[in-house]
Amino acid sequence: MDAEVDRWIKVKSRNTIVLKCVRSWIDARDERKDQTVIMRSRLRDLCDLSGAGYTRKWITFSILIGVAAGLGSIIFYWSLTTATHLLLGFVAGYEPPLPSGEGATIFTGISRPWILPILTGAGGLLSGLIVFRFAPEAEGHGTDAAIDAFHNKGGYVRRRVPLVKAVASAITIGSGGSAGREGPTAQIAAGSASALADLFRLSESDRRIAVATGIGAGIGSIFKAPLGGAILSMEVLYRRDFEYEALLPSFIASVVGYSIFALWSGWAPIFGSGIVPPFSRAPELISYAILGAVCGLVGIGYGRSFYYLRDLFRSLGIPRWLKPAIGGVMVGSIGVFLPQALGTSYGWLQFAINGDFIALPVTVMLAVAVLKILTTGLTIGSGGSGGVFAPGLVIGGMTGGVLWNLLHMYPAITPTSPSAFVVVGMMALFGGIAKVPLAVILMVSEMTMDYTLLIPSMLTCSIAYFVTGDNYLYEKQVDVRAESPAHRNEYTVMLLKALKVKDAMTVGTPTISTESKLDDMADLLKKYDVHAVPVLDDGKLTGIVTKLDVVRSLYQEHPEASVKRMMSTHLIVTYPDETLFDAMNKMIVNHISHLPVVERDKTDRLVGLLSLDDVTRIQCNASLAK
């Protein structure tokens, strides 16, 4: 078509105005085709509603994700305990105490504390070499990477990431790095779910849900908290919203993953059961409210310190793989004087839950609450591999224990046992700064097998959540679903359904009569820079002329043709009170880019013109307004 137009330019130079319009139409042609394809895709996504096929698909696929999450949790847990025994235990002579559901909560001392900086530094170096050589996205806390995959990468996780994350995290934590096992497990399970989605050729939207389901199943498995893990899968993606499509698949996957992991590791909850006395006095809510405010403030310090150290390490002009070694040496140096800050610290948290102030004095508890923030930032912020969940629980639990020791002199408003404050502090600090209060309340309740503190937990976590405000721990979270690329098309369709044609149409559009000539049409197109012009005869709408019609006339060598000869009389119209969604559907079905807007009771009376550009413009304005 372009060659023919160039030939015509040479022969018919007097019609250059018309040909400029033709060239403009050619330039816009491919762009309009792309917009039409996008809108068709949006309509197909909207019509993909759940049904029997959907149910069968997700029941089967959720079971597969659960199996992958359970097996992945077993492999990673075994790798982590083995690495801890070989590195901290054999090399440094330090066997960290374990929570009651996983072993003996005893501390036998450290035989070779002087070697800790060397050990943690070497662990960081090896972890950095593995991560930055094979999968740089496996650095840091894996939950954030999984969240990023959901929102920004179509749910795609590279195949090698689960293996690299498992190995690097086992080395980092096993050598004494201050990190948790939930982040690696979340990324491992999310990566496995992404691989399964590709294997079964699921759509991008289904792959995103699979990744979210994997996050919940992995965390629910390794923490033996299937209900909390399932809720976490839909809560952790946003700061003020939920991914409710992931809930039912996560229920199934979390139960399956938990069952597989518990069959191997045992069914006992991580922190035992029957330790916390039930809540039975309303005045205690005063002290719980104070706990919520304090945990919110400490949570802000945790989040800001973490990202301050992360940005500090990123600014260093040294190779990325070397930075975890530097962070590891600093963590090991702190561990020489405070070994409680090394590893996951779950055993020390068990001492706090038990109220054992002999094994864990209040001064040590305070030191752990402060220095665990520092060691976690140094370990993960430097590029080491591990999660921020476990440190958050430890910091919150220690904060609760310290605060109980300050408030227990007021018995009228303070629980009689520190256990309650420790457990609720675990929930409040991490639930507030990570923006997952509901999931954490359930998870900690499952980890302690105690639901008697739900009322004070609800109050404390709510206060901590509001105190933290816009501060966060997972930077890849978005505020609400409408801001996620995963739901951009969905909310575009909702916007089109909410707006009317009268909100977007062009009023006062130029018109032309049936007896006008091609040159008149060219002048009109140039003057108003439009792509279509309605045709009126005695004030009544009789047709429409587009640039495509002009091109056809040029090909047929009819420069003197009248508008009546070239116009389209088979009109597809819309109405001012019709939704933009319905009007757009008419454009897509009929392969057109303009619709005359007419009155419903007088379809030959023109009131405006709606174009694809009008719809795009109002969508952009709505997005900017948000």
Mean of per-residue pLDDT scores for the chain? 86
CA 116 to each of CA 120, 172, 252, 266, 585: distance values in angstroms, whole numbers, following the listed order: 6, 13, 42, 32, 67
Say which range, 192-201, 248-257, 387-396, 537-546, has the weakest mean pLDDT.
537-546
What whole-number distance in Å separates Cα of residue 256 and Cα of residue 68? Answer: 9
Question: Apex CA 147: angle with CA 141 and CA 151, to 5°?
Answer: 150
The helix-helix angle for 418-433 and 284-315 (nearest 10°) equals: 50
What whole-number distance in Å separates Cα of residue 18 and Cα of residue 16? Answer: 5
Q: Fold for 2-41+499-625, please state it.
A: CBS-domain (3.10.580)
Query: Among the CATH numbers 3.90.105.10, 1.10.3080.10, 3.20.20.20, 1.10.3720.10, which is that of 54-487?
Result: 1.10.3080.10
pLDDT score, position 84: 95
Q: Which tokens hold the place of 205?
A: 């939207």
Say which range, 124-128, 179-183, 231-235, 398-402, has the weakest mean pLDDT.
179-183
Strand partners, 543: 535
Percent of the chain with pLDDT over 90: 55
CA 117 from chain center: how many Å?
35
Percent of the chain with pLDDT over 70: 87
CB-based contacts of 365: which residues, under 8 Å, 6+ apart?
Answer: 352, 398, 401, 402
Is residue 156 a contact partner of residue 208, using CB atoms and an 8 Å limit? no
pLDDT band at 526 (very low <50, low <70, confident <90, very high): confident
Query: Which ranges of 266-388 would DSSP assign to H, the alpha helix?
Result: 284-315, 323-337, 346-354, 362-381
Name the DSSP letter for residue 563.
Answer: H
pLDDT by residue (tens digit) across 6-46?
454 444 444 444 444 445 544 545 455 555 544 444 444 44
Mean pLDDT of 226-244: 93
Strand partners, 478: 238
pLDDT band at 565 (very low <50, low <70, confident <90, very high): confident
Domain layout of the chain by residue ranges: 2-41+499-625, 54-487
What whole-number distance in Å separates Cα of residue 519 and Cα of residue 330? Answer: 80
Give the pTM: 0.77
Mean pLDDT of 72-96: 95
pLDDT band at 325 (very low <50, low <70, confident <90, very high): very high
Strand duo 532-537 + 540-546: pairing: antiparallel
First to last CA, the chain: 42
> Regarding predicted confidence, which is higher, 42 or 433?
433
Name the residue type at position 240. R
Judged against a pLDDT cut of 70, whether residue 448 lies above it is answered with: yes
Mean pLDDT of 391-405: 96
Mean pLDDT of 584-613: 85
Question: Apex CA 36: angle with CA 39 and CA 553, to 5°?
Answer: 155
pLDDT by residue (tens digit) across 281-312?
999 999 999 999 999 999 999 999 999 999 99
Mean pLDDT of 53-69: 88
pLDDT score, position 567: 81
pLDDT score, position 294: 97
Q: Which tokens hold the place of 338?
A: 């405070």
Q: Which tokens hold the place of 569?
A: 């009389």
Judged against a pLDDT cut of 70, whether residue 49 lies above it is answered with: no
What whole-number distance in Å separates Cα of residue 346 and Cα of residue 184? Answer: 16
What whole-number distance in Å separates Cα of residue 580 and Cα of residue 559? Answer: 36
Element of type H or E holding 69: helix 52-84
For 404, other C-beta atoms within 10 Å of its C-beta total: 25
pLDDT score, position 272: 86
Q: Which tokens hold the place of 614?
A: 């009008």
Judged against a pLDDT cut of 90, whether residue 319 lies above it is answered with: yes
pLDDT score, position 587: 84
pLDDT score, position 528: 77
Say which range, 235-244, 413-422, 447-456, has the weakest mean pLDDT.
447-456
